[in-house]
Amino acid sequence: MMPSDYSGPWNGPETPKRSMAWRLWNYLRNIVLMPGRVKELHEITIETQGLMLRELRRQRDLTKLALARTAELHVPDSWTGGQVRVVLLVHYPEAWASLEGVYWALEEDDRFAVTVASVPRRFPGADRFAGEDLTHDALTANGVPHIRLNFSDSFESLDVVRALRPHLVFRQSQWDADVPPAFSSKALGFTRLCLVPYETMNLVENVRDEATPTDTAVDAPFHRAAWRVFCANETVRDAAAASNGPLGAERFIVTGHPKAASIGAAAPRWPVAQDGGRRGRIVWSAHHSIGRHWTRFGMFPRMQHEMLDFARSRPDLEFVFMPHPMLPSFVGHADSPIGRGEFGAFLAAWAGLANATTYVGSDYAGVIRAADAVITDGISMLIEPQIAMKPIVFVERDDHRPFNATGRAVVRGVHVHRDVDSAIEAVGRLALGGADPLVEMQRENVRELFAHPDPERRIIDAIIAGLEAEAGGSPTLLAPVTPIDAASA
C-alpha cells in the first residue's frame, strides 16, 4: 500500500508531497487560482455587508415597532366621560374585606364597569404559584362574579386583562413577589394602578429594601407605579408621601379604610360548636414573621405548646386559632425555625380538642366580633380587634422591628406581655368577663385612626376627581371628613 504522504499527478509514487517539485507545483497553482479566490472573497465580503445591513434595518424596524407598542401600552386609556372600566385582581381572599365594600360600591354605581379576576399567588416559603382555586371558591361563596386567570403562562392572563382595556386596575397588595410576573408593577404599567392596602395601616418601621433604603410598607415599586393609594388617615398619608418624595404626595389620598367599616358591620360567627352553654371565647392570632428576618413579630414556635396545654386544661374556654395566611407556607421557608412536619403535628393536635378549632378565611371579622378576648403577637391584630372593642393581649417578641408613631399609639390600647405564661393568664381572665381598663383608650384610638365612616364613597369620589382632572374638566371635590364615634363602629 502506498503511504498516505506520497501521491501527485506528476510527482510519481516515490516523490514525497513536501519535495521541492511539489512545492513549486503548489506555488504556481496558487498563483493561477489567486484572481478567482480574491474575487470570491470580495463577493463574500460584499454579501456579508449586505446581509448585515439588511439585518440592521430589520432590527431598526423591530425596535421602532417595539418602542411604539411600549409607548402605547404604557399610556393608560384616556377617559372621556363614559363608564370607567375597572379590574380587581384578587389573590388574597383572606384580605377580601379590604376591597369588598369598594367592589360593591363600584358595582352599584352606573359610572363604573367592574371585572373581578382570581389569580394565583406565592407566599414566602411556597415553591410555586398556586391557590387560584381557593380564591375562586371564596369569591363564589361571597357571591362575586369573576373571571379566572390561571394560565400556566401568566402573560396569557395579562393578555386577557389588556383586552378588557381597563382605565383602572386594583391589586390587593404592594408585594410583587406574591403574584405572577405578569401582574407585577412593571407589567401592569399600561394602566392606572390603585391600591387599598390589605392592612388597615402600617404600624412598624418596616424592612428596608436593599437596593433603595426606603420603607417597603409605603414605598415599594407598586407604590411608585400607582396612580392612587387610598389611606386610612392623614398620618398614614403623610408618612407614605414623605417616603415617596415630591412625586408621591398627590397619589396618596385620605379616604378611610373599608376594612374598618367591614369589621364594624360584621355579623358575629363562632366556629367552635359545643353543647353545654356559653363559654369564654378566645381568638389566638399568630403572625407569620417567625424567622430571624423581616419584621420578627411571630411567636408561634414559642407559644404552640403552652397554648395547646392551655386549651386542654380549660374546658370553660373555647379557642379559635387564626394563623396569618402566610404562616402555613412560611414554615417551609429556610428562615423558619420550625418545619412543615412540626406545624402539621400541632394542627392535628389542636384539631383533636373539643373546645378548639382553626379558622383561615375571609370572614375572620365575624370571628373577632364573636370573641371575648384576643391573644396575638401582632401586627394587624393589634388594631383591628380594637374596632370591635375587644380586649387584646399582645405577646411581644424582644427583637421585633420598632413601632412607628402610629404603632406606638395603637399599643396603648393593648395589654403588653413579654412572658407567654403571664399573657395566657391575662387572656383567660379577660375572656371570662374581666374588666378591661383599656377600653377607653381603644375608643380613642378608633376615633383618631378611623375618622372616615364612608371610605367606599370617598374612594369613588377620588377616582372620578382624578379622571376628571386628567380629562381637563373641573374635578369633583371630596366631601369633608365626618368623625365617627368608636362606639358605633
pLDDT value at position 42? 65
Residues 6+ apart with CB under 8 A from 185: 176, 193, 220, 221, 222, 224, 225
DSSP annotation of 116: E
pLDDT at 294: 81
pLDDT at 6: 40
Region class of 414: left (phi > 0), else alpha (psi between -120 and 50), else beta: beta
pTM score, two decimals? Answer: 0.77
**H-state helical runs in 257-313:** 258-265, 300-313
Buried b or exposed e, range 400-435, using 16+ CB within 10 angstroms: bbebbebbebbbebbbebeebeebbebbbbbbbeee
**How far is C-alpha 354 from the chain's CA centre?**
35
Q: Which three cell numbers stand for residue 473?
A: 374638566
Packed helices 300-313 and 420-431: angle between N→C axes, nearest 10 degrees: 40
Cell of 173: 397588595
CA distance 399 to 299: 11
pLDDT at 5: 44
* Cα–Cα distance measured from residue 47 to residue 42, given in angstroms and rounded to the nearest whole number: 8
Report CA-CA distances (Å) from 26 to 19, 22, 485. Answer: 11, 6, 106
Reading the chain (489 residues) residue by residue, the pLDDT tens digits are 444 444 444 444 444 556 777 777 777 777 777 776 666 666 676 767 766 776 776 676 566 555 445 545 556 778 888 999 999 999 999 999 999 999 999 999 999 999 999 999 999 888 899 999 999 999 999 999 999 999 999 999 999 999 999 999 999 999 999 999 999 999 999 999 999 999 999 898 876 656 555 667 778 889 889 999 999 999 888 887 776 665 567 889 999 999 998 898 899 999 998 887 889 999 999 999 999 888 899 999 999 999 999 999 999 999 999 999 999 999 989 889 999 999 999 999 999 999 999 999 888 999 999 999 999 998 999 999 999 999 999 999 999 999 998 999 999 999 999 999 999 999 999 999 988 999 999 999 999 999 888 999 999 999 999 999 998 865 544 444 333 333 333
Compute the distance between CA of residue 87 and CA of residue 190 in angstroms, rounded to an integer. Answer: 13
Q: Closest Cα to residue 489, out of 436, 442, 441?
A: 442
b/e sequence 38-71, b meaning 16+ C-beta within 10 Å: eeeeeeeeeeeeeeeeeeeeeeeeeeeeeeeeee
Grid cell digits, residue 158: 395579562
What is the rounded distance in angstroms from the CA atom of residue 449 to the CA atom of residue 454? 14
Cell output for 135: 380564591
Question: Rounded to whole angstroms, what are the CA distances from 52 to 59, 60, 118, 402?
Answer: 10, 12, 47, 60
Q: C-alpha grid cell for residue 340?
A: 412543615
Nearest to 86 by CA among 58, 108, 55: 108
- Distance in angstroms (rounded) separating the CA atoms of residues 360 and 325: 7
Q: Which CA distances in Å does 378 have to 19, 125, 202, 288?
A: 93, 20, 11, 9
Other C-beta atoms within 10 Å of 291: how many?
20
Residue 109 C-alpha cell reads as 354605581
- Alpha-helical (H) ranges within 186-227 are 221-225
DSSP codes of every residue in 126-150: -SS-B-HHHHHHHHHHTT---EE--
Q: Are 187 and 162 spatial neighbours (Cβ–Cβ below 8 Å)?
A: no
At 301, the amino acid letter reads P
User: How many alpha carbons lie under 13 Å from residue 291 in its C-beta half-sphere?
Assistant: 16
pLDDT reported for residue 484: 32
SS3 of residue 85 by DSSP: strand
Give the model's pLDDT for residue 473: 64
- The number of beta carbons lying within 10 Å of the beta carbon of residue 159 is 13
